Amino acid sequence: MNAMKETASPQSLSPEGEREMSDAGQTVLPSPLQGRGSKGEGQQNHALISPVSPRNSGLEAIRIRGGQSLNGTISISGAKNAALKLMCATLLTDQPLQLSNMPVTLGDLRTLAGVLSHIGTTAALRADGVAIFHTPEIKTPIAPYDLVRMMRASILVLGPLLARNHYAEVSLPGGCALGTRPVDFHIEGLRAMGADIVLEDGYIKARAPVGGLRGARYAFPKISHTGTENLMMAATLANGETILDNAAREPEVSNLAECLIAMGAKISGHGTSRITIEGVPALGGAIHPVLPDRIETGTWMIAVGLTGGALRLKNASLAHLGALLGPLGCSGVEIREENGDILATRTNGRCRGIDIMTEAYPGFPTDLQAQMMTMLTLCEGAGLVTETIFENRFMHVPELRRMGADITVHGSSALVRGVERLKGAEVMATDLRASVSLVLAGLVAEGTTTVNRIYHLDRGYERIVEKLAGCGAVIERVRG
Q: What is the pLDDT of residues 455-468, one digit of tens each?
A: 889 988 999 999 99
Query: For the chain, how big is the Rg over CA atoms in Å?
Result: 22
Tell me: the pLDDT tens digits for 296-308? 999 999 999 999 9
Decide if pLDDT at 51 tops 90. Answer: no
Q: Is the pLDDT reported for residue 264 higher than 90?
A: yes
Task: Write down the catalytic residue from 176, 259, 351, 471.
Answer: 176
Q: Please report the pLDDT score of residue 35 as a whole number.
A: 35
Average pLDDT over residues 256-260: 98
Section 139-156 average pLDDT: 90
pLDDT confidence of 204, banded at 50, 70, 90?
very high
CA–CA dist 450, 430 (Å, integer): 14
**Does position 180 have pLDDT exceeding 80, yes or no?**
no
Q: Shortest CA distance to 252 belongs to which of 115, 463, 89, 85?
A: 85
Its pTM stands at 0.89
Q: In this predicted structure, what is the pLDDT of residue 14?
A: 34
Residue 85: pLDDT over 80 = yes
Contact in structure between 431 and 437 (CB atoms under 8 Å): no
Side-by-side strand order, sheet with 413-417 = 356-357, 382-386, 413-417, 406-410
pLDDT at 21: 37
- Any catalytic annotation for residue 88? no
What is the predicted pLDDT for the residue at 55?
52
- Give me the pLDDT at residue 459, please: 87
Q: Where in the chain do CATH 3.65.10.10 domains reside?
A: 57-76+292-479, 78-289
Amino acid at 376: L
Query: Residue 253: pLDDT band by 50, 70, 90 thresholds?
Result: very high
Topology classification of domain 78-289: UDP-n-acetylglucosamine1-carboxyvinyl-transferase; Chain (3.65.10)
Element (H, E) at 329: helix 322-331
Q: Give the model's pLDDT for residue 391.
A: 76
**Residue (of 47, 31, 191, 33) closest to 97 by Cα position:** 33
pLDDT at 356 exceeding the cut of 80 = yes
CATH number of 57-76+292-479, picked from 3.65.10.10, 3.30.360.10, 1.10.287.610, 3.30.70.1070: 3.65.10.10
- The C-alpha atoms of residue 184 and residue 220 are separated, in whole angstroms, by 10
Q: What is the pLDDT of residues 97-129, one digit of tens each?
A: 999 999 999 989 999 999 999 999 999 999 999
401-432 pLDDT tens trace = 999 999 999 999 999 999 999 999 999 988 87
